[in-house]
């Protein structure tokens, strides 16, 4: 087959629908990555505009620009948009766009999930923007501390917009994290071992794992605070056994890793671009991988350093102070590796390199002030002052925005297939760099002089006037710089100068394709033998276009790709992707309806929306099945692979595994909250304990054990070609029994509005009940599939997936029943 | 997946030990457990014991990583990275929990 014929056939198979309609039905990572990045950039502009309003307000003392109520909304939305609607989605967009290309595959593991995550992000973000336009935006600061944000002190709907909108957006983050993790581990080019992975792949993998374990505490905290506000469950009310410090623990359990979740992908961009700009390879690849693992874990042991001023005992403070100083080491390892790379190579000062230098200067200053605030006595002096605001901007702007600007200019020819024509970017860089440092160096200074964060005004006699004016002038210079970069990019998009393939002479696989990339990425998948495949073989792109790799012959209209072994990259499974569908946008709209019903308190809609989500999820899963066995398919001469329905570890199994890790972290956070309130919060013991029942615990444990055993028996029966319905019926009965036991625990729980004990136990029981109902649905689904002929001895992939979920649910039900009832016995 | 686990295990155990010792410290302070054992305050003894166990666990992990137990790593790269993260776990445990030896507990 000629290369052009192959290209036309593959394009017909992989293309999105044409025109406007295609936006809503595309599941292609090229489209969705670009849509993510464009949307995130729009939010960045809104957040930047809000920053200008903040600086306009603070430029002069006693400013009449905005009153305190509006000012509170402005700074809250600035922080919220930049953290949740710009930084994280930019990582998601970049990873979604780049990873399949860098990893040498055709799309991410779950294309429909990519689309679902994107639409959840758009709808959740739009919810927050609407609140701002209506003048009822969140106003409690981006970290929403109760009791200020409790129902007593924040009476309007403002706080609810934040709690519900952000939880909605976080679905997108979790979806993307599952997607990226599974894609990196299982959807790589054949031969791409862990040691041959592009360094950005490692960064994205570690970041995604951090999202899976870092976001659930915040999701939990948001749910608890919203339930407190809506229904009066006193999780954070000290007089009823709650504790507002619990929010701080949950928030910062998320919030500190969040800083590294933002920094690590940016560091991945630096590690990718820097060697190309220096015409060499990355120094200390192994050291960098080890240091990012260390950084990721250490970042989870730092959350209390945001709480040094809350009265925690000295030894507790010392633990977190010590751990905070420790993160400087793995960060430095990376910085020294980058310096070594520059030393080893011949740096060329292209525009991406300028932004990388901007990153070095800014981020290192931010890191040093970070070590300063990690030291408790200094933190007590600088806490809640503009010094800390300046520090975090040095870390986040320096550690994220500069590398992202470098990334934009580096991959712009890739996205557009065009050359830069007007060289406005250099001017933009210098204005951004100078404007940023004028703004935030001044802010350090005024913070040390005592200016507090979030104040809407100050008096002339405070002595901060000139410094604030300088800072505001700097911020407007910065804004002009961003505007020039934007103009440069728009002109780039309009200019008609085609770029050549691989204009930077890079070694990574994303440049081994047509520019802009076709929907299918690679006409055939490469066999990777080194860390820089394109550097090792500059003619690789032509060979792939001629179909000399894997899956070089389009067939049956299938969107085909390969799954590989995690460590060795050996091809294992043939995967057929779903085609264009509007199911993801429909499901995210119904998910949005669920959140909206909670926000405007139209609770009769809530169960309907939930049922709608369940129905669409059912349809989603149903579409993936086959009613006939598919023989192993030839993916390359001499290499036949089974289809993903005919293996034990299908993509769905891997996705479920990582979703359950996030889910388990959510439960762990809830148990931490329960233990924290019990031991630390005032107002304990509660007026009434649960009326414990040994019979219900025993029945629940028996049911949990039975469900786990029955699903195993069903799996074995299917593998042996025996009838599976008897074992599945037992599993269904056992899951129904677990449901009954969790419902009974809720029934026995003391009034949840009277004390935090009852409130926490109610949430714990509800978590168990939700999951047991999920288990019932899953078993019913499997029974229906068996009855309608969707399973066979060969088509067995669904059994291990359901087994994984039932094992998890059995485990958590046993845990919840034991903890719930034992509390009553011990009391 | 065993390669990935080998790389992650030592920092993961550090995190578990760090949070456990912090929780133990919170519990001891909340329950106001006073008393002396062998002339050492009970809360100090408990924390130092936990500290010692955490270090011991990291040493065992490091030895396991060096000896390729229970399965040998699939490549030299995995062996190298897991050794570095093994040392990271040990050093992080020693440094971040050192306050149990040095500062007042509650």
**What is the DSSP annotation of A116-135?**
HHHHHHHHHHHHHHHHHHTT
User: What is the helix (H) or strand (E) element at residue A819, kind and residue range?
Assistant: helix A798-826
Domain with CATH 1.20.120.80 in chain A: 651-826
Residues of chain A with pLDDT under 50: none
Give the closest residue to A796 by CA, choosing from A710, A720, A705: A720
The CATH T-level fold of domain A26-494 is: Cytochrome C Oxidase; Chain A (1.20.210)
Q: How many domains does chain B have?
A: 1
Q: Report which DSSP code applies to A82.
A: I
**Whether residue A685 has a cis bond before it, omega within 30° of 0:** yes
Category of A789 on φ-ψ map: left (φ > 0), alpha (ψ -120 to 50) or beta: left
Find the CB nearest A315 among B8, B15, B103: B103
Residue A443's pLDDT is what? 97
The CATH T-level fold of domain A651-826 is: 1.20.120
Q: Cα–Cα distance between A387 and A385 in angstroms, integer?
A: 5
Contacts of A680 in chain B (CB under 8 A): 26, 30
Q: How far is B47 from chain A (nearest CA, A)?
A: 11
Q: What average pLDDT does chain A have? A: 95
Question: Taking the CB of residue A156, how many other CB atoms lie within 10 A of it?
Answer: 10
List all residues 6 or more positions away from A229 whose beta carbon is below 8 Å from its beta carbon.
A149, A150, A151, A154, A159, A160, A163
Indicate the pLDDT class of residue B68, thresholds 50, 70 and 90: confident
- Residue of B92, B93, B94, B101 to mutate, interface with A, max A Cβ within 10 Å: B92
Q: Cα–Cα distance between A11 and A13 in angstroms, integer?
A: 5
Query: Can you read off the two tokens belonging to residue A645?
Result: 């329905």
pTM of this structure: 0.95
Residue A703's pLDDT is what? 98
Residue A690's pLDDT is what? 93
Question: Taking the CB of residue A570, how many other CB atoms lie within 10 A of it?
Answer: 11
Q: Cα–Cα distance between A17 and A129 in angstroms, integer?
A: 29
Q: Cα–Cα distance between A419 and A491 in angstroms, integer?
A: 11
Q: Does B68 touch chain A (CB under 8 A)?
A: no
Q: Does A680 touch chain B (CB under 8 A)?
A: yes
- pLDDT over 90 at B38, yes or no: no
Q: What average pLDDT does chain B have? A: 90
Q: How far is B73 from chain A (nearest CA, A)?
A: 9
How many residues does the structure list for chain A?
Answer: 827
Q: Cα–Cα distance between A125 and A130 in angstroms, integer?
A: 9
Share of chain A above pLDDT 90, in %: 91
Q: Report which DSSP code applies to A550.
A: B
Domain that holds residue B18: 2-102
Domain with CATH 1.20.210.10 in chain A: 26-494
Residue A421's pLDDT is what? 76
Residue A560's pLDDT is what? 95
List all residues 6 or more positions away from A256 whose beta carbon is below 8 Å from its beta carbon.
A299, A300, A302, A303, A305, A306
Residue A824's pLDDT is what? 79
Task: State whether B22 and A319 contact (CB < 8 Å).
Answer: yes
Query: Can you read off the two tokens belonging to residue A351?
Result: 């525009």
């Amino acid at each position: 087959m000629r290369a052009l014929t192959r290209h036309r056939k593959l394009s017909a198979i992989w293309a999105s629908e044409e025109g406007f309609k295609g936006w809503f039905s595309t599941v292609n990572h090229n489209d969705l990555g670009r849509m993510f990045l464009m949307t995130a950039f729009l939010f960045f502009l809104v957040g930047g505009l809000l920053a200008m309003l903040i600086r306009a307000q603070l430029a002069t003392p006693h400013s009449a620009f905005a009153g305190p109520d509006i000012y509170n909304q402005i700074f809250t939305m600035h922080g919220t948009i930049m953290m949740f609607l710009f930084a994280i989605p930019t990582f998601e967009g970049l990873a979604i766009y780049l990873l399949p290309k860098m990893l040498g595959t055709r799309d991410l593991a779950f294309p429909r999930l990519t689309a679902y995550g994107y639409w959840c992000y758009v709808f959740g973000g739009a919810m927050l923007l609407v609140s701002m336009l209506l003048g009822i935006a969140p106003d409690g600061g981006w970290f929403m501390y109760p009791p200020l944000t409790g129902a007593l002190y924040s009476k309007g709907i403002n706080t609810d917009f934040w709690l519900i909108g952000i939880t909605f957006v976080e679905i997108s983050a979790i979806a993307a994290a599952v997607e990226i993790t599974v894609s990196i581990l299982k959807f790589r080019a054949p031969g791409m071992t862990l040691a041959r992975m592009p360094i950005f792949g490692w960064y994205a993998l570690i970041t995604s794992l951090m999202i899976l374990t870092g976001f659930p505490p915040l999701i939990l905290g948001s749910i608890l605070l919203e339930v407190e506000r809506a229904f009066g469950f006193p999780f954070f009310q000290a007089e009823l056994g709650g504790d507002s410090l619990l929010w701080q623990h949950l928030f910062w359990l998320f919030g500190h890793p969040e800083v590294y979740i933002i920094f690590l992908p940016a560091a991945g961009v630096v590690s990718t671009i820097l060697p190309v700009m220096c015409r060499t390879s990355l120094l200390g690849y192994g050291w960098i991988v080890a240091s990012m693992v260390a950084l990721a874990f250490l970042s989870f042991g730092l959350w209390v350093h945001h709480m040094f001023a809350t009265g925690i005992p000295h030894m507790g403070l010392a633990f977190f102070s010590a751990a905070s100083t420790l993160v400087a080491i793995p960060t430095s390892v990376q910085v020294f590796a980058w310096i070594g790379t520059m030393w080893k190579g011949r740096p060329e000062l292209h525009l991406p390199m300028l932004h990388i230098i901007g990153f070095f200067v800014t981020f290192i200053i931010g890191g040093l002030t970070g070590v300063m605030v990690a030291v408790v006595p200094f933190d007590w002096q600088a806490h809640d002052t503009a010094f800390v605001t300046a520090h975090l901007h040095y870390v986040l702007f320096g550690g994220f925005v500069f590398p992202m600007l470098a990334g934009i200019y580096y991959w712009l020819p890739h996205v557009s297939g065009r050359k830069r024509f007007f060289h406005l970017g250099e001017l933009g860089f210098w204005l951004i760099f100078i404007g940023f440092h004028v703004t935030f160096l001044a802010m350090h200074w005024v913070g040390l002089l005592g200016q507090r964060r979030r104040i809407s005004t100050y008096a002339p006699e405070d002595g901060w006037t000139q410094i604030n004016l300088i800072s505001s002038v700097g911020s407007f210079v910065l804004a002009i710089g961003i505007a020039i970069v934007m103009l440069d990019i728009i002109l780039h998009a309009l200019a008609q100068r085609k770029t050549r393939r691989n204009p930077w002479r890079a070694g990574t696989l994303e440049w081994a394709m047509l520019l802009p990339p076709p929907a299918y990425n690679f006409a055939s998948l490469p066999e990777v033998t080194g860390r820089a495949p394109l550097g090792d073989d500059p003619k690789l792109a032509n060979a792939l276009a001629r179909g000399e790799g894997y899956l070089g012959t389009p067939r049956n209209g299938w969107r085909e790709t390969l799954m590989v072994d995690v460590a060795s990259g050996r091809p294992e499974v043939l995967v057929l992707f779903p085609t264009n569908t509007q199911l993801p946008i429909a499901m995210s709209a119904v998910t949005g309806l669920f959140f909206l019903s909670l926000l405007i308190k139209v609770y009769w809609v809530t169960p309907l929306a939930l049922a709608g989500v369940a129905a669409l999820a059912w349809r989603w899963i149903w579409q993936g099945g086959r009613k006939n066995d598919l023989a192993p398919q030839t993916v390359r001469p001499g290499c036949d692979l089974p289809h993903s329905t005919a293996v034990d570890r299908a993509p769905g199994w891997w996705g479920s595994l990582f979703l359950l890790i996030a889910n388990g972290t959510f439960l762990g956070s809830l148990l931490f909250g329960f233990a924290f309130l019990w031991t630390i919060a005032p107002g304990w013991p509660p007026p009434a304990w649960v009326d414990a029942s040994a019979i219900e615990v025993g029945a629940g444990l028996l049911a949990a054990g039975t469900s786990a055993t029955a699903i195993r028996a069903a799996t074995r029966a299917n593998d042996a070609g025996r009838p599976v319905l008897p074992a599945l019926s037992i599993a269904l009965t056992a899951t129904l029994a677990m449901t009954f036991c969790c419902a009974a625990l809720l029934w026995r729980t003391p009034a949840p509005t009277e004390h935090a004990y009852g409130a926490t136990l109610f949430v714990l029981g509800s978590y168990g009940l939700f999951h047991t109902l999920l288990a019932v649905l899953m078993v019913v689904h499997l029974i229906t599939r068996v009855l309608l002929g969707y399973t066979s001895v060969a088509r067995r992939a669904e059994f291990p997936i359901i087994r994984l979920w039932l094992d998890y649910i059995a485990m958590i039900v046993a845990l919840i029943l034991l903890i719930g009832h034992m509390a009553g016995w011990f009391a | 997946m065993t390669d990935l686990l080998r790389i992650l295990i030592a920092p993961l155990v550090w995190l578990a030990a760090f949070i456990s010792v912090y929780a133990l410290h919170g519990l001891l302070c909340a329950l106001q457990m006073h008393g002396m054992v062998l002339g050492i305050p009970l809360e100090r003894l408990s924390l130092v014991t936990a500290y010692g166990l955490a270090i011991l666990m990291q040493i065992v992990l490091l030895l396991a990583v060096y000896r390729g137990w229970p399965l040998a790593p699939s490549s030299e790269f995995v062996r190298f990275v897991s050794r570095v993260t093994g040392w990271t776990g040990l050093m992080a445990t020693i440094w971040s929990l050192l306050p149990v030896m040095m500062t007042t507990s509650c």
